[in-house]
Structure 1
Amino acid sequence: MTCFLCLQCGVQFTATETPPQHCPICEDERQFVRWEGQAWTTPQELAIGHRLVMRDDAGGLGFGIEPRFAIGQRAQLVQTQHGNVLWDCIPMVSDEAVAEINRRGGLAAIAISHCHFYSAMGKWSDAFGGVPIYLHADDRQWIMRPHPSIVSWQGETLAINPSLTLIRCGGHFAGSQVLHWRREGGNALLTGDTVQVTPTRRHVSFMYSYPNQIPLNATAVRRIAAALEPFDFDDIRGAWWDLNIIGGGKNSFATSVARYLAAIA
């Protein structure tokens, strides 16, 4: 029995003797099936040609896979005095990464923006004794590997600890969530690609489907803006290496919302 990984999106599936026939995440219009057809790999096969890398990203520890695998997102360790949280996830876990997180105080929880980044969340949780994985209940249908540590929370906000609050924004997916980090020296917003930092690193944008280039409608964007209005933040940390807005994040967000709505009007 093997927990196969989809070669296109990197999401891990529940254990089976043979690879699944379909990946519902890739068959959804927000993603796509490989031109060569659906394909799978295993954690063991992935480790042969890839490695987990750790490096500083805007003053925090990030985790990625080299060479690039699947969607190519990186995870981030959010360190607080109330416990550390892994934001978003990647399809590979290593002894070195576990040791480094433990050296920094261990892991209290995992939280993931949306299903494209669920990857090997169960394996990451197991590596730290079964820490809770916070996913919004509106995205429950996209869980391909059920795990006892998954917490399907409901509502609009959830305080993981006194420093960290999950905010359901919707938009990209019904349960798409971001993480607000209240900290000394300036609050931060970790957004996955619910709020996508653009290459200028001065603006953000929004999409229903990134690979298929389907924009998000005005109602959904206004809802995201309303969900984030009560929260102050200086930095916005995106889903990929170095895609961060450092300083002036709240103003950049507001400017970007106005610019986006004008563009699709």
Structure 2
Amino acid sequence: MTEINKLALSRVPVCVTCGTQYPGVEHRDDCPVCRDERQFVGWDGQRWTTSAEVAASHEIRFEDVAGVTTLWLVPRFAIGQRAFLIPQADGLVMWECLPTVTDAAVERIAGMGGVQAIAISHPHFYSAMLEWSEALGGVPIYLHEADEEWVTFDSPFLRFWSGDRFQLTDAVDLVHLPGHFEGSTGLLWKNGPRPGGSLFPGDAIQIGMDRRIASFMYSYPNAIPLGRKSLTRLKAKVDPLEFKDLYGSFEGKQMIGDAKALVEASFVRYKAALEG
């Protein structure tokens, strides 16, 4: 990453409410992600910051969570999602993205062997994906083509995949889990970090506070449920997947050891609730 590109990306607009970065512009009047009914404009109106400002006031925290290296911003910023580093033979896969990049985080990741690819579940977590790609050496960013309309810039690093499943590495597949977004994606780590594998579903499957129940929403902040047809479609995508563990989007949200059975029971519970 050249210093010119790094400086430019660190100064482009970043939405304070959702953390989406908008490369290629110096000013935006509004944030398309927050205008959508799945998200919201902050109560005090549309506000902007920059990646450089966020990096100056926040730390990227690294922690091993049930066998997976996890990253998040402290203090919490915007949506507050976490990112994951999945070790593979040819380098790490970064799953999800954060709204800023720090030199300390990039140095630490380099010491872990570097990143071979970035993959992201849906537009709410696109955040600073181009800045991360540049900082990590121009690594490709994998997104489902059904969400291409949400990408506001052109880059040679973007890779749009299609269909139900895409093999990213020998042990990692991207799986299509539509509902929350048409292109919502999960990452299936088929043999890790423990035997039986793990699923990282983004917001397609949201783990509840007791960590034994999951839910499936069109909009989480605005409490718009996923309808019957979308639920049936999502369940048909999840049923063939084999996994023991489930790693959710937010700190502390994981199901370890019996996740597939808990998700299956959650589909039954949710359907019963829809039927009243």
State the TM-score bracket (shorter-chain normalisation): over 0.9
Which deviates further from its counterpart, 82-91 or 172-181?
Answer: 82-91
1:50 is matched by which residue type in structure 2? Answer: H
Residue 222 in structure 1 maps to residue 232 in structure 2: yes
Runs of 4+ in structure 1 deviating by more than 4 angstroms, as ranges, are none
Q: Is the CA contact 1:165–1:179 (under 8 Å) kept in the aligned structure 2?
A: yes
Deviations 1:18-50 (A, max 9, x none): x20111110000000011111100112212322
Deviations 1:155-213 (A, max 9, x none): 11100011011111110000000011011522000011111111111121110001110
Which segments of 5 or more consecutive residues in structure 2 lack a partner in the other structure? 1-7
Considering only aligned residues, what root-mean-square deviation do their CA atoms show, in Å?
A: 1.3
1:51-200 correspondence runs (5 A):
51-183=59-191, 184-200=194-210
1:225-240 correspondence runs (5 A):
225-240=235-250
2:17 aligns with one of 5, 8, 12: 8
1:165 is matched by which residue type in structure 2? Answer: D
Shift of 1:82: 4.4
Shift of 1:229: 1.6
Shift of 1:6: 0.6
With the length of structure 1 as denominator, give the TM-score of the two structures.
0.96
Q: Distance in 2 between matches of 1:54 and 1:92?
A: 14
Shift of 1:96: 2.1
SS at match of 2:251: coil
Aligned in 2, Cα 1:91/1:145: closer, same or farther, shift over 3 Å?
farther
2:38 aligns with one of 27, 30, 40: 30
Deviations 1:48-73 (A, max 9, x none): 32221111222211111111100000
Identity of paired residues, percent?
44
With the length of structure 2 as denominator, give the TM-score of the two structures.
0.92
Which deviates further from its counterpart, 43-52 or 133-142?
Answer: 43-52
Q: Is the CA contact 2:52–2:100 (under 8 Å) kept in the aligned structure 1?
A: no
Q: Is the CA contact 1:12–1:145 (under 8 Å) kept in the aligned structure 2?
A: no
Shift of 1:102: 1.9
2:264 alignment counterpart: 254
Q: Is the CA contact 1:207–1:216 (under 8 Å) kept in the aligned structure 2?
A: yes
Which deviates further from its counterpart, 226-235 or 50-59?
Answer: 50-59
Q: Distance in 2 between matches of 1:213 and 1:230?
A: 28
SS at match of 1:165: strand
Q: Is the CA contact 2:55–2:101 (under 8 Å) kept in the aligned structure 1?
A: no
1:36 is matched by which residue type in structure 2? Answer: D
Q: Is the CA contact 2:51–2:101 (under 8 Å) kept in the aligned structure 1?
A: no
Q: Distance in 1 between matches of 2:109 and 2:36?
A: 34
